[in-house]
Chain A
């Protein structure tokens, strides 16, 4: 009996191993374990076994049955895994087909540059404030130490509405407005549009953006100005950027300076961006003129300050290698899409 059982089990396992699909497996199950199955038939022969041998017999048959069932289960799983695998194989896609984009819009290069500058100065504790674009001549000039008749009034070709009101030619009037409020210390930047009567060409625009900076406190020094702008330049143009301070003149600062940064394209060796000079001029700055502090109600014996003004377009043009300023104000989608 045992031999027969071993033989049947062996046959069943062999057939299971050969089964190619679930139907074939089912056939094996029916043939051996079904109601009329061969192993089931052996079980049925229990009644012919002597009662004392029945437990041992039952155990042997059950073991055989269990062995076949386990093999069936295992084979079934293997087959369904294989089927799944094949289904997935059939679902292969060409991953190089075009993406479905949300078509998010693009920032303007000037705004991107401005956001960057704001980020840097906010990190250094500066508040971002704004002032009017149509301004009193008094704020644009007089309070900045540019009295009536001063040649600087001609240097900045100003658009006038009337004798008293003009389109601001610089963001510096915001300095005067903030100082007049009298809340000290001051650490602020004021970005915004300014206007000058320059005809439109590759390097000029009658309207452009400036960012004004102002710090007023006790013991503010020229070295603080230098350190602040060093940090700014390194953040904006990269950690290896060097700055060069050159004496200059602005009526509302004394001493005044223009600041060059080492060319961030060539690192200072000289290239077409820096016109072979290795340096690129980016801003004007200086210590707030004591007369300006006094005019704005701040005691120049107690307080000092520094101020700077950056041309945003210039930074955007240089940073993004844009060769014509007109592109900034045309708003060609193909241009904007690149930012």
Chain B
């Protein structure tokens, strides 16, 4: 919300402080000031000038020479403006004198920080002392000053000259209403009363300890009674707790006076005419949206407030046709709908230039209903965004009376006497028991009950001494309980004045959950292995499945869909972490980063049913990915095993190349099995998938994924020291001729199962395929180490175990090489 400080001062006349002080103190009492703008920034030596004569420039067709009365003297100014023709005179214009400053150029471009200094000089040989200004040069625009020409010098209106009794030499800044500061507030949604100038003014008065004066509204209206003109019937008083209507006859359109235009303009609202300006003014001032209907278009001179019927449609005054249903509250006349309650009026009853009689509506609508209706109708307006916060029904009457008073004051029409008021259940002040001890208990303060009561008084809360209750006026719709009062007390006692203490009481243990400890170790291992932490989005495009070659029928395609995504690219919750990793790697590759290793530690989302009827499983995945030098399948496998070792997963790990992983190279992939259960997978990314992620042909990309929830039950931090061997080991090497299809893993299975207790360790030391080896075979050599904890092994013992191993190997079709 933007409000000029001058308007606040209308209701807090004693307020005297700099804009900075105002901002700081208001922020600290809870009316947050986002910033402020001085409208006269960079406007110096700016006066009202009267053009006395305009003559042709001897050497330039487009320039004219003006004599301008600037008060104490007459100066000569050369201008090229198109709206000061030769021979004209008498115009009142803003003039910047020699040595003064303006805010910007005449093109209305961005304003330079320091403004533009104007100096006397010569234009095509003719001296020019100062400059007549366009509205753009003064830092504003045609929107704020609709009377300003599209191009040319700003010329003051006759009415303004009269209203302000302008004379040459007067301050042009003042005459333009630029002697003001516009303050931008961030109003929280609970303080509907502060979406109004008087609400902010009340806070300002309390903050600065100054007097607050409500606008004085006197009784208005002629001798007639509005009830003789119009009937109002509210069918749904829950959705429309109050409906006030008044009427104005003999509408006379004219521009609003400058004082009102200034208020609106400086609030960011374009002045239009007296009638529109009045409703806008009252909206700003009281925070009550109003609507005006053309009485002559109201069929039966009757207003009926009721919900639409399913399938109805309605053309709002912006020309759009809106679909309605039975939950949307409508304003109707005797025959048809004329407006969507609290949102927008209809094309059929809108005010035209030919209007004679106007019906003012100031109503109160249920906030939730307005919010939902606005959503359904696809139309969120200034009015609806205010109504949906839930307004004070008692404010409607005050606002409509204020509007009628302004109508009379501005001579905009003849107000008909009386007000139609459908208000079956009056909204009454809330009463909250005053419990100063509990307030101090919650705040940790020692504020006296007297100070608390003083604060309540400052913000217009009443107090019932007899019942010891705080009486909350209906405009404060946010106060209901002790904690609410505590905040009011603290706001004005000062948030920054209270002590800093630390909680006392039962001690608690600070710790990470077990899962988070494992996560931390996993991150450390990944980083030690050279992978950097990447963070990726949880949602992605359904196109990911095609890019990853995931078949139509795959379970992975059963993804949770966001109903209102940012776009298709962010529309499903990921069921695999590969797309995010490949996207990150691809970005690096395309930025020519040579060797990249990344890891990601984040969830995939596995629905139990679709559509979702319960929360899905969120499974955290450790995903490692990389490309470049010194990385291959076995690098990835190494990280997996390092991690297992460090989180106490000492059981048997198997790598099964048969798993169905279409995104991987068919001959370079494996499921990772721990004690027979799949806990992850790794592989070289399929060249087609690489191409889908814009890698050049031949670039090899590797990914390993570990399913953290599958790992965690297998982790352990129990360690048992085994003793360092005292007896010597016996080494035996075996060299084998192995059929190609037999995996080294199978050989190791034999070693492990048949080696028994005596086989301490084994190590692959040679693997060879080539010409010297029998066709269809590879040469494999292992070094085996045998040892017992309690004795030196004899050759016979070792030979026995070796025989068992060799028998096992022979069963795989392996020949021993001598």
Contacts and interface: CB of A to CB of B under 8 A. Distances in A.
B535 A329 contact: yes
A246 interface: yes
A331 B536 contact: yes
7 contacts: A127-B510, A127-B513, A155-B189, A226-B500, A227-B501, A254-B487, A287-B486
Given A221-B443, A256-B487, A152 B189 contact: yes
Given A287-B483, A331-B598, A123 B510 contact: yes
B793 to A, nearest CB: 38
9 interchain residue pairs of minimum CB distance: A221-B444, A149-B368, A247-B30, A223-B444, A255-B487, A249-B188, A122-B510, A227-B500, A108-B533
Contacts of A218: 505
A111 to B, nearest CB: 5
B565 interface: yes
A222 B443 contact: yes
Interface string B494-509: 0110111111111111
Interface string A140-152: 0000000011111
A271 interface: no
A122 B511 contact: yes
A222 B591 contact: no
A105 B442 contact: no
Interface in A208-267: 215, 217-224, 226-228, 230-231, 244-249, 251, 254-258
A234 to B, nearest CB: 10
A134 B615 contact: yes
A223 B535 CA distance: 37
Among A122, A130, A134, max chain B CB count under 10 A is at: A134
B503 A217 contact: yes
Contacts of B509: 125, 127
Contact of A331 (B503, B526, B565, B584): B584
Nearest to A139: B615
Contacts of B490: 222, 247, 255
Interface in B433-466: 441-445
Contacts of B482: 290
A224 B503 contact: yes
A246 B28 contact: yes
B547 interface: no
Contacts of B593: 332-334
Residue of A110, A126, A222 with most partner-chain B CB within 10 A: A222
Given A127-B510, A222-B498, A206 B537 contact: yes
A74 B651 CA distance: 63
Given A162-B611, A332-B588, A125 B534 contact: no
B383 to A, nearest CB: 14
B561 A107 contact: no
A160 interface: yes
Given A122-B510, A150-B368, A251-B190, 7 more contacts: A122-B512, A159-B564, A187-B508, A226-B498, A332-B591, A336-B532, A336-B534
Which secondary structure dominates chain A's binding surface?
A: mixed
B189 A249 contact: yes
Contact of A197 (B441, B536, B566, B587): B566
B226 to A, nearest CB: 33
Nearest to A281: B32
A221 B442 contact: yes
A247 B529 contact: no
A221 B501 contact: yes
Contact of B616 (A104, A134, A331): A134
Interface in B569-587: 570, 573, 584, 587
Given A107-B527, A230-B500, A133 B188 contact: no
A330 B618 contact: no
B513 A107 contact: no
Given A123-B510, A220-B503, A135 B615 contact: yes
Contact of A125 (B508, B512, B533, B566): B508
Interface string B1-44: 00000000000000000000000000111101000000000000
A249 B28 CA distance: 13
B674 interface: no
Nearest to B533: A108
Interface in A100-133: 102-108, 110-111, 118, 121-130, 132-133
Given A255-B490, A330-B587, A331-B584, A134 B499 contact: no
Given A161-B560, A227-B501, A329-B537, A246 B486 contact: no
A151 B566 contact: no
B510 A254 contact: no
Interface in A139-188: 148-152, 154-155, 159-162, 165, 167, 185, 187
Contacts of B611: 162
Nearest to A223: B444
A193 interface: yes
A19 B713 CA distance: 76
Nearest to A148: B368
A126 B499 CA distance: 22
Determine which residue in A104, A152, A221 has the highest number of CB atoms from chain B within 10 A of its CB, and name it. Answer: A221
Given A248-B30, A287-B442, A125 B189 contact: no
A134 B573 contact: yes
Contacts of A254: 481, 483-484, 486-487
B388 interface: yes
A136 interface: yes
B535 A221 contact: no
B582 to A, nearest CB: 11
B499 A227 contact: yes
Interface string B590-603: 01010011110011
A21 to B, nearest CB: 45
A105 B529 contact: yes
Interface string B363-398: 000011101100000000000000011000000000
A151 B188 contact: no
Nearest to A329: B535
A17 B539 CA distance: 86
Contacts of A246: 27-28, 30, 32, 495
A218 to B, nearest CB: 6
Nearest to B605: A134
B612 interface: yes
Contacts of B560: 134, 161
A126 B189 contact: no
B686 interface: no
A223 B500 contact: yes
B532 A126 contact: no
Contacts of B531: 105
Contact of B527 (A104, A118, A133, A135): A104
B523 interface: yes
Contact of B495 (A154, A160, A245): A245
A123 B512 CA distance: 11
B529 A224 contact: no
B191 interface: yes
B564 A337 contact: no
A203 B280 CA distance: 34
Contacts of A245: 495-496
Contacts of B772: none
A309 B190 CA distance: 19
A165 B612 contact: yes
Contacts of B599: 105
B516 interface: yes
Contacts of A162: 563, 611-612
Contacts of B603: 133
A40 interface: no
B240 to A, nearest CB: 16
B447 to A, nearest CB: 11
Nearest to A306: B503
B615 A165 contact: yes
A226 B508 contact: no
Contacts of A165: 612, 615
B508 A160 contact: no
Contacts of A149: 367-369, 371-372
B87 interface: no
